[in-house]
Amino acid sequence: MGLSVRRIARFWLFCCLIAGVLVSCTTQPVILTGVVTDAYTGQPVVGATVTIGEQTLTTDDQGRFQTERWRPEDTLSLKAPAYEPLEMPLVDQPRVGKSGVLTVTITTALRPNVLSGTITDMYTGQPVGGAEVRIAGNDGMSAVTDESGRYTLTNVPEAFTVTVSAPQYAPVTEQVARVTVFDMRLRPNTLSGIVTNSYTGEAVAGAKVTLGAISATTDDTGRYLLRDVPAESGEITVTADGFASVTQPFTRTTTLDVALRPDTLFGQLIDATTGKPVPNAAIIATETLTSTAVAFVRINDSVEGRFRLPNLPERGFVQVLAPGYAKRVIPIEPGKMPDRIELEPFYVRGIYITAAVASVPSLVDKFLDLIDRTELNTLVIDIKSDLRDDLGVVYYDSQVPLARELGLSTPRVDFASILAKAKERGIYTIARVQLFSHDNALSDARPEWSIRLRSTGEVYADYPGPGIRYAYLDPTNQNVWDYNIALAVEAAQMGFDEINFDYIRFPDWFGPYSEFSEKLLFSEPIDPVTNPGRMYDVILEFMQRAHSAVNAAGAFMSIDVFGRVVNGPSLTIAQDMTRMGEFTDYICPMPYPSLWWGGLENIAVPVKFPYETIKIAVRNGGRQMMASYAKQRPWLQDHTDPWVPVVVEYGPVEVRAQIDATEEQPEAASGWILYDSANIYKGAFNGAVRPAP
């Protein structure tokens, strides 16, 4: 009985255990597990907060979480710093609510919603503080970088347009998607600096700084700022009034200081004797004493004698050519150029020799000695032959292309030696150039450049005596102009102080003016009856071109006119002292007493009265040129003309009388030159010129 009871008890205990196990099996909770990953990288999200009902969990280092305390009707909430929060109704998840499931696993991803990065300077790599990073289309979604160039934006969408901008940098806009780090290098788009005077270091205000299509102007402190500078390399140019411009390559830089070299001379010309301003002058700058001008300015009727010479070279010479004054040469010294230039009055007292005489050194020395021991200070020399057999041939080895091409020059005169001797003795030198007449050499080589007879097409010429022929070049033909100007410039560069153009006229005509155009043919229509003004204009146009070229070569220019022109304009030669005086430095009339055949004012036979004749001629010429740029300087007669109606032997007395008549009128004439075509000079060599002081 006892055994049975014990057995029954054990059986019921076993049944209870089995029942307990069975009950336990039917009520075991379903475990919810999950993995949270980064939606962009797939990496686990550690420390994410998981909320299910009243329960809060945290993901481990594998991004996992697990709980038994959940219900299918719960909502799973996920949060993590720098991620967009996520809520998931569990009922919507697979396997939730299925019978017999002991474990439900949820794998989900959080999308990062924070963007951060560093903004740096493209050129230097340094951080850019104060840059704005803005998300397009999201009002207020922007951030500003700190001093280290860093920024952070929250709640950013998965794909967006970001714009980065900063003062003095070019903005950048990019399309971005599924990133959490966005670094950007900004390109500086401004250029700033200071422009200074390279000599003094002082600021240059008003300088223009140009880069491509953009520019800026410096302020009173010399500072400038260029905005919106392009990325491409280029050239930057800095200019300022009174300074040489600077152009240099522009590359990756944000600051550029520039030193400008002053290249403009502001000055005033003063008469060294009177202290009065000099109103008329050409001021040039050359790199050497024998080169042509790289800078040139002319003042005309300047009340104060002031000038402005731009484009001055860094080294070289400033040369001042003022009619009536000695040329002033000033070496260019950076920062030391004078603003007041005194000019010494210069009164030419000259004597002329032919190219043939110049080809004989002993004869040249004779004239140099005469100049040395007397008041004479100037030697005039033909550079073209005056001999009938080679009339017009250039008497030195000219390098002018046309002279070489046509064989128009021959090395007969050693001008280098003559000029060196003259310079050593302080003698002023003038190169005389026959222009439209007395140049058979050019006319014969290029007859189409000459005046021609309409009837035959032959070259027109003067025949003043047996075996003498003076071909006449066409004053309207600019080939003739260019050739003679080239010779003049070459002579100036050889060292001549002045170039004198003779025969600067149309032919004289003693018949009816109507026959002039009927018989003569020019490169353009010329008619002294219907259009006399054009004839004057042709001469003036040549003079204007020649004057600039000769002055630019560092020499004065003079022209010769007939003696009768002192009384007014003359046709058909088309010479007018008043108008011609604007385009040369000196006008040299030839009022020789023996040539006034018809008398002069109240003098019936002028050749007998050299003093009175020249007195009147110089006075009248001075009146013609009273307001001119140029000065008058007459040729005086030191020869006897045996072929005139009344022959008077000219010697020291007659020559001296002419000199006195000229020098007594300094307001009308700025010197004189003695002329004798034979170069005998009975006056000069026998006491007409006074001993040197």
Domain CATH for 243: 2.60.40.1120
The pLDDT, as a whole number, for residue 255 is: 93
Whether pLDDT at 14 is above 70: no
Query: Is residue 15 domain-resident?
Result: no
Query: Is residue 630 domain-resident?
Result: no
Whether pLDDT at 3 is above 90: no
Quick one: 506 and 558 in the same domain? yes
Provide the whole-model pTM.
Answer: 0.79
Quick one: 84 and 172 in the same domain? no
Quick one: 554 and 512 in the same domain? yes
Whether pLDDT at 7 is above 80: no
What's the pLDDT tens digit per position in 598-621?
Answer: 889 999 999 999 999 999 999 999
Whether pLDDT at 301 is above 60: yes
**In angstroms, rounded to a whole number, what is the distance separating the alpha carbons of residues 672 and 655?**
11
**In angstroms, rounded to a whole number, what is the distance separating the alpha carbons of residues 434 and 533?**
24
Q: Judge contact between 488 and 434, C-beta under 8 A.
A: no
For the ranges 100-114, 293-307, 402-416, 442-456, the lowest mean pLDDT is seen at 100-114
Share of the chain above pLDDT 70, in %: 96
Mean pLDDT, residues 652-667 taken together: 98
- Of 4 and 413, more confident: 413
Final residue before a domain boundary, out of 328, 343, 358? 343
> Cα–chain-centroid distance for residue 471?
44
Contacts with 227 (C-beta within 8 Å, 6 or more apart), sequence order: 189, 190, 214, 216
Final residue before a domain boundary, out of 546, 562, 589? 589
Q: What is the CATH number of the domain that holds 416?
A: 3.20.20.80
The pLDDT, as a whole number, for residue 1 is: 42
**Structure-block tokens of residue 86:** 């996520």
Whether pLDDT at 96 is above 90: no
What's the pLDDT tens digit per position in 356-394?
Answer: 999 999 999 999 999 999 999 999 999 999 999 999 999
Query: Is residue 681 domain-resident?
Result: no
Segments forming the whole domain that contains residue 311? 265-343
Query: Is residue 18 domain-resident?
Result: no
Quick one: 402 and 511 in the same domain? yes
Quick one: 127 and 228 in the same domain? no
The set of long-range contacts for 576-580, using a CB threshold of 8 Å and a minimum separation of 24, is: 576/536, 577/621, 577/624, 577/625, 577/628, 577/632, 578/624, 578/625, 578/628, 579/536, 579/540, 580/539, 580/540, 580/543, 580/630
Query: Is residue 42 domain-resident?
Result: yes
As a residue count, the chain comes to 693
Query: Is residue 617 domain-resident?
Result: no
**Structure-block tokens of residue 339:** 């603003």
Rg of the chain over Cα atoms, rounded to whole angstroms, equals 51
Ramachandran sector of residue 367 (left: φ over 0; alpha: ψ -120 to 50; beta: rest): alpha
Final residue before a domain boundary, out of 343, 375, 391? 343
Please state the domain count of the chain: 5
The pLDDT, as a whole number, for residue 24 is: 41
Quick one: 273 and 243 in the same domain? no
Query: Is residue 253 domain-resident?
Result: yes
For the chain, give the mean pLDDT.
93
Confidence at 148, pLDDT banded by 50, 70, 90: very high
Whether pLDDT at 19 is above 70: no
**Structure-block tokens of residue 367:** 């004239």
Whether pLDDT at 428 is above 70: yes
Whether pLDDT at 686 is above 80: yes
Tokens 């050019």 — which residue?
A: 442
The set of long-range contacts for 565-568, using a CB threshold of 8 Å and a minimum separation of 24, is: 565/589, 565/621, 565/624, 566/591, 566/617, 566/618, 566/620, 566/621, 566/624, 567/620, 568/624
Query: Is residue 379 domain-resident?
Result: yes
Quick one: 297 and 355 in the same domain? no
Whether pLDDT at 489 is above 60: yes
Quick one: 89 and 217 in the same domain? no
Quick one: 383 and 483 in the same domain? yes
Single-letter amino acid code for the residue at 291: S
Quick one: 128 and 101 in the same domain? no
Whether pLDDT at 291 is above 50: yes
Quick one: 501 and 450 in the same domain? yes
Quick one: 377 and 416 in the same domain? yes
What's the pLDDT tens digit per position in 184-225?
Answer: 999 999 999 999 999 999 999 999 999 999 999 999 999 999
The pLDDT, as a whole number, for residue 192 is: 95
